[in-house]
Amino acid sequence: MDLRIKKTYRALFDAFTELLEEHRFEDLTVAMLCDRALIRRTTFYKHFRDKNDYFAFYIDELMTGLPQNRTDAADAEPLDDVRALRHEVFDDAMNMILAHEQLMDNLLASSMSGMLTGMICDRIARSIRERVMSSLAEDALAPVSLETTSEFIAGGIIRLFTNWWESGHDLERRPEIADVVDALFERTMTPVNH
């Protein structure tokens, strides 16, 4: 990727994070985003259709920053490695969210929170399919497809997180939530022949 494009994306990402910490999503405009990022609107529209399209890109960028592979798990059993990866991804995601509490409050207070959490859910499901399940054969979860299973788990994670956040996001419950996420994976994504 061209260095100028990388700088533009970084400026947009930082500006969007700041703006989401100050405003609800529906109150943001592309003009506000471009002004904060110090880029022209024509540049923005070369890369994105609108702020919804940018939000999807933003979530992808956030998820890209989460662990991709475990380098220290060469001797681990495959299921143990997957479990360790889930814990890494979960911990990093929670740390990122807790570092931007006002952003999360603004997203969930938005009149568009359903659409926004739906987009996040889609990205989580895709991440599950790409990262965690890449080692399993497509029919390993038969009779339920990998796509359906990942959507189910992503929806459960979003609902669990939303309830936790709205009840005050008590840090002492964080391990409990991680255990529930693990149970979701264990019960729905254990290969049939296991």
The lowest-confidence range among 14-18, 75-79, 125-129, 169-173 is 75-79
- Give the residue-averaged pLDDT of 24-46: 96
Mean pLDDT of the chain: 83
Could you give the CA distance from residue 59 to residue 20 in angstroms, rounded to a whole number? 13
Could you give the CA distance from residue 189 to residue 144 in angstroms, rounded to a whole number? 10
Its pTM stands at: 0.77
User: What is the structure's pLDDT at 71?
Assistant: 40
User: What is the structure's pLDDT at 112?
Assistant: 92
- Residue 110 in contact with residue 26, Cβ under 8 Å? yes
For the chain, helix (H) and strand (E) counts, in that order, are 9, 0
- Give the residue-averaged pLDDT of 127-136: 72
For the chain, which domains are there?
A: 3-61 (1.10.10.60), 72-188 (no CATH)
User: What is the structure's pLDDT at 76?
Assistant: 45
Q: What's the N-to-C CA distance of the chain in angstroms?
A: 42
